[in-house]
A and B are shown apart, each in its own frame.
Chain A
Amino acid sequence: MSLTSDPPVTRAVEKEPVAGPELVVVPVRHPWRWVAVAVTAVLLVQFVHGLVTNPGWEWDVFAAFFTTETVLRAVWVTLQLTFHGTALGFAIGIVLAFMRLSASPFLRSVAFGYIWAFRSIPLIVQLLFWFNLAYLYKELSIGIPFGPSFLSFDTTGLVGEMSAAVLGLALHQAAYAAEIVRGGVLAVDEGQVQAAASLGIPRLRQVRRIVLPQAMRSILPNAANEIISLFKGTSIVSVMAIGELFYQVQVVYGRNGRVVPLLMVATAWYVLLTTALSVVQHYVERHYAKGSVR
């Protein structure tokens, strides 16, 4: 109680001794916390022991396949899918975000419609659509709408397996990226744009130099989540028989029957590369934290 610090309005109940040098602070004990720690530690040790000693994991098979050329090439394909999906996805996402923020109701609605549609369709369904694009449109052309075309492609050639996969991943990603970017832009103080406008800084420059770098602070953690989830999400592309990591591993264990160690090969690669992405994230975030005290 705060009796000692209250002004002596009422009579002093029990005069506590004033804190002197001989007083010792005794921290509160947490016996249940120690029980929880002990239980968790035992479980952990058991788990690790099982990993090492259970012959079912077949660590020798794991070691044999971890860096074989087939697996490495599959890792490379996975990285390519991730990179192109992310780059294209965020490029489209930024455009969509600014469409949603624009003063034009038409642009706003189109962007809203896109985001609504692509968040509603399961990725796997969408991927299969793209894969089967050739059935829908025999020929894609670039030119005046409904008019003469300057360039045209045969869809079977244009949308190869890889492009179909990247396109599907990117279009899906764009819907989420748009919302993340929009949220980041909205989080920037309105006064920043007003100050930039009052200084006559050109519009595009306001966005690139003043708004986006500040928006990056709230965009980055979410964007990193998205990239990591896309990275693992590439495994969905295995339904299209593209030789990415998960598909390739399935092919190998289909042949030799060593399911568990090969799943571990894929797992280890996913973990390793996700860790690498997290490290990159840390440094990029630090870059954009310039000038902040938090």
Chain B
Amino acid sequence: MSSVTVDPAAEAQAATTAKVEIRAVHKTFGPLHVLRGIDLDVRAGEVTVVLGPSGSGKSTLLRTINHLEKVDSGTVSVDGTLVGYRRSGNKLYELRERDILKQRTRIGFVFQNFHLFPHLTVLENIVEAPVSALKRPRKEAEAAARTLLERVGLADKAEAYPKQLSGGQQQRVAIARALALEPGLLLFDEPTSALDPELVGEVLDVIKDLAASGTTMIVVTHEIGFAREVADTVVFMDEGRIVEQGPPAEVLDSPRHERTRAFLSKVL
């Protein structure tokens, strides 16, 4: 918690933080129309919390932002650059996998089930992408990884294997792993949903810390208290559409739509 307020780091992060523009995105899985025309703007440095019932398309939306899921139509751009495509005139050319992988190094993704690499130590988990994707010297990457581990409060777990850690600790490692690429945008897909209740707090604390440091973040979560405290914008999704969005005070306390109200009454 202490190192977050150090000025140079925060400035560097603020300087590279990215905005997100999502335009008319549609996505189907066979007959299932999962995203039905999503438009969303996230300003650089802001925290957007996405709420919505299970199956409303939140994860799918998040996964289209780093092109883990290909859209059927519409565009996603991060910091003014199209994700997954190159535009030339009125044509969109699909990028080669190598270029897509390069784009992803600018976007951190934190999964509900952590997905740490179980055969690698905590340190190896964090160092893997900077070394292999960004070609950082291993020594340098390891030093950076240790700093990150300190930041998430796990400095003493560098040599541990993921299975030796609690769920909360694993998720904090996963966050450190995503941060190791110094992304301008962080995506969280229900980062605390797989955790025992008493472990939720430690992970949310780390995410709040990051929010304060000025990285752009989109967080899918059911933690309303967290949304109220941290979000600049709350987005409510249902059946593949954004039903309403606005500042937390507006959406959470005086929702305009019946569906939002019904949902909130269930999770609160």
Contact = CB atoms under 8 A, between A and B. Distances in A.
Contacts of B128: 199, 201, 209-210
A214 B115 CA distance: 13
A213 B129 contact: no
B68 A198 contact: yes
B163 interface: yes
Nearest to B110: A198
Contact of B133 (A194, A201, A291, A293): A201
Interface string B139-171: 000000000000000000000011110000000
A199 B118 contact: no
Contacts of A205: 132
B115 A292 contact: no
Interface string A253-294: 000000000000000000000000000000000001011110
Interface in A158-211: 189, 191-192, 194-203, 205, 209-210
Contacts of B224: none
A191 B113 contact: yes
B115 A194 contact: yes
A202 B97 CA distance: 9
A97 B133 CA distance: 26
14 contacts: A195-B111, A195-B116, A197-B104, A200-B101, A200-B102, A201-B132, A202-B133, A210-B128, A213-B119, A214-B118, A291-B119, A291-B120, A291-B121, A291-B163
Contacts of A192: 115, 117
Interface of B: 66, 68, 97-98, 101-105, 107, 109, 111, 113, 115-121, 128-129, 132-133, 161-164, 177-178, 181
Contacts of B107: 198
A202 B119 contact: no
Given A194-B68, A198-B68, A203 B97 contact: yes
A203 B102 CA distance: 11
A85 B236 CA distance: 60
Given A197-B68, A198-B66, A201-B129, A214 B101 contact: no
A98 to B, nearest CB: 15
A291 B115 contact: no
A225 B141 CA distance: 41
Contacts of B102: 200
A208 to B, nearest CB: 10
